[in-house]
Structure 1
Amino acid sequence: MKNISVIGSGTMGNGIAHVFAQHGYEVSLIDIKQELLGKAMTTITKNLDRQVSKELISEEGKTAALARIHTFTELEPGVKSADLVVEAATETMEIKLDLFRQLDQYSPKEAILASNTSSISITRIASVTHRPEQVIGMHFMNPVPVMRLVEVIRGYATSDEVTDKIMELSVKLSKDPVEVNDYPGFVANRILMPMINEAIYSLYEGVAGVQEIDTVMKLGMAHPMGPLQLADFIGLDVCLSILKVLHEGFGNPKYAPCPLLVNMVQAGYKGVKSAEGFYKYIPGSKDSVVSPRFSK
C-alpha cells in the first residue's frame, strides 16, 4: 500500500493523515470545505513541530511529511488512486453508510475500505458495499500521533487476507494493533463508556463532586486522567452516541445514558469542543476549572 485516502479532517482525521504521512505514505485528505482542510493542515504542522522540538523527528522529516499530504474537497478525485481509504467522519450511522456507498463506487475495486468508527457496526457499514470482505475497522486512539493502540475490527465478512494486511500496516505505523470482533462498542468503548457513564451517575446522584470523582480514579486506579475530564476530551456528544449504540445493540439497561449526560449534550455543553462540559476550558490554554454548574 502506498496511497492512503483519509475522509474527514477533524481531530481524528488529521491525526491519521499525520501518522501515515510521517511514515512515508502519500495521503489524500478529504473534507467538504477548504477552510476545514486549512485548519487541519495547521494542526498537523503544529503537531509535527512539537515532534521536532522533542527530537522525535527531524526538520527534514517534518517537511517531507507535509509534502506527502494532498487536500481535496471532492470525494471522487480524492479516492480514485487509493490502496486504502480510512473514513474518519462524524460518528453517525447515516453519514457513514452514505460515504461507504460512494467509496464503493469511486475507489479502485481492489482498495480496502476502513472505518475509524468507535462503535458503529463494521458489518452494517460493509453491507452497503459490493466488497464486504474488504471492509474493516481501524479504530485509532486520540491523540493519534501519540497513542499506540489500533483496534482492528473484523466485520462478519472481512477476509483473513484483509485483516492480516491491516494488522501488518498498523505495525508499520509504529502502532500496536489488537484484532477484535464486530460487536457493539468493540472492546475499548464497551469497557470505557460504562465507566464514564457510572462516573456521571455518581455526580448526578450526589455521591461526590467532579474533582473528587476524577481524583479517586486518578490516584486510586492510576488513571492518567479522570473519567469526567476524559469524557470532556472525547466529547460528551460522542460519549452519548456510543452509549446509545451499546444500549440499542445489547438491549441491556446497564448501558442507558445518564439523564445528566443527555441534558448536557442537548444544552450544547459537549466538553472541550464547546469550551465547557464537566470542566470549563480557557481557549488557547491547557488550563481548566470545574464548571461553575458543578462547583460547590
Structure 2
Amino acid sequence: MFSHRSAQFFRLYSTSNGKSIRDVVVIGAGLMGGGIAQVTAAAGLNVTLVDHSQDALVRARNSMAYRYHRKLAKELPDNQQKAKEMVAQLLQHVQLQTDHCEAASQADLVIEAVVENIQVKKLLFQELDRTAAKHTIFASNTSSLSITEMADGTERKDRFVGMHFFSPVPVMPLVELTRLDSTNDAVYDCVKEFVKTIGKTSVDCKDTPGFIVNRLLIPYMLEAVRMLERGDAEAKDIDTAMKLGAGYKIGPLELMDFIGLDVAFLIIQGWHKKMPNDPLFAPVRTIQRMVEEGRLGRKSGSGFYEYKAEQSVDADAQIEKLRLIKSRT
C-alpha cells in the first residue's frame, strides 16, 4: 500500500497524461525567458514570468502578445476575431512577478533564463532552494555552463536538470535535456513529457560544455571571426559562402549577431577558463573589443552588420550588466 508520501510523489511526477507539470515559473524576461513563457502559456499551462524590472516584464508580455498574434494571423487569415480571443487566452495564463522566491514557492517547475554567468545562476538557485516547494523541479536554460555545478549548491540534486531552448523559442523546435547522475528517473520523464506538451522535441545529452549544438557551433563561429581577423575574406562573403556552399540558413557572423556578442563572449571566457589549453576555445580579441564598444549585434543595432533602430535594445544597459557580472566574479 502507498504511504502518503509515496502517493504524493506519484501524483506529482506521474507522466501518464502529460499534465503533471501545471504551474511553471520562468526567471528572466529577456528574449529567451519571454519565449519560454509564451510557448508554456500557449500549451494551456500556468506560467509566472519573473524579472527584477517591472518594465522588462511588461515589454516581455507585450512581445508575447505581438508574436503570438502575428503567428495566429497567418494561421487564421479569415478569422481575426478568433486570433484575438486566443491571444487573450494566452495572456490569461501569464502572471508577472518581481520576487523570484515568492513566485517559486508553489511551482511545479522553475526554469532559469538569466544571464550566462555561473556565479549568478548558482546564487539564484541557492536562494530558490530555500523557498521553493519540496516537489519543485529546477531547470537551467544555460547554453554552455555546468548543470552539476549549479545543482551542487542546492538540496535537490534529484530534481535538477538542464533544459536548453533555442532562439527564437516559439519557432525553434529543439530542447536539449541534460540529466545528472543524481536526477530521479520519474522527474526526468516528467520533464520530457513537459517538453512534448509545449510542442518541442527533446534530445538527451551529458553535462558537457556546450552540450551538443553549441559544442559544435561556438568553435565554428570563432573560426569565422578569426578568418575575418586574418583578412581571409569579408564578413558578407564568409556568411554567403556558408549559406550557399553548406546549405545553412544563416551565416556564422550573422548568427553571432543574432545570439549577441556579449553572450558569445561570456561563453568563450567560461570555456577557456575550464580548458585553457584547448585551441578551439582560445579568446578572440575582435569579439572582446566589439563588446567593449557596445557592438553586441542585433540587440544594440550594430555588430558585424548594422541593424534598424527597431531591432535594437539599450546597449549601455547590456554593457553595465557585463560590468556587474565581472565585479561579482
Instruction: Give the TM-score category using the shorter length.
Output: over 0.9
Gaps of 5+ in 2: 1-20, 77-81, 313-329
Structure-2 residue corresponding to 1:30: 50
Structure-1 residue corresponding to 2:269: 244
Q: TM-score, normalised by structure 1?
A: 0.93
Match runs of 1:172-183 below 5 Å:
172-183=197-208
Q: Which residue of 2 aligns with 1:197?
A: 222
Secondary structure of the 1:97 match is helix
Structure 1 stretch displaced more, 247-256 or 25-34? 247-256
Partner of 1:107: 132
The match for 2:325 is none
Q: How many residues align?
A: 286
- Quick check: 1:184–1:249 contact (8 Å CA) kept in 2? no
Pairwise mapping of residues 183-262 of structure 1 onto structure 2 (< 5 A)? 183-251=208-276, 252-262=278-288
Q: Percent identity?
A: 41
CA distance in 2, matches of 1:125, 1:156: 14
CA distance in structure 1 between the aligned counterparts of 2:167 and 2:107, rounded to whole angstroms = 24
Question: In the aligned structure 1, how far is the partner of 2:308 from the partner of 2:207?
Answer: 38
The offset of 1:60, in angstroms, is 2.5
Task: Return the letter of the residue paired with 2:149.
Answer: R
Tell me, in whole angstroms, the C-alpha distance in 2 between the residues paired with 1:169 and 1:239: 29
Instruction: Write the distance in 2 (CA, Å) between the matches of 1:249 and 1:179.
Output: 23
* Match status 1:164 vs 2:189: yes
> Which has a greater percent of helix?
2
CA distance in 2, matches of 1:79, 1:194: 36
Greater shift after overlay, 75-84 or 126-135?
A: 75-84
On the 8 A contact 2:164/2:175 being kept in 1, the answer is: yes
Q: Which residue does 2:289 correspond to in 1? A: 263
Counterpart of 2:299 in structure 1 is: 273
Q: Which structure has the greater CA radius of gyration?
A: 2
Distance in 2, matches of 1:217 and 1:89, equals 31
* 1:152 is the counterpart of 2:177: yes
Name the SS for the 2:192 alignment partner: helix
Q: Measure, in 2, the Cα distance between the counterparts of 1:115 and 1:173.
A: 17
After the TM superposition, list the runs of 4 or more consecutive aligned residues in structure 1 that deviate by more than 6 angstroms: none
Q: Which residue of the other structure, out of 72, 96, 108, is the alignment partner of 2:97?
A: 72
Q: How far 1:247 moved relative to its partner? A: 2.2
- Residue 309 of structure 2: SS of its match in structure 1? coil
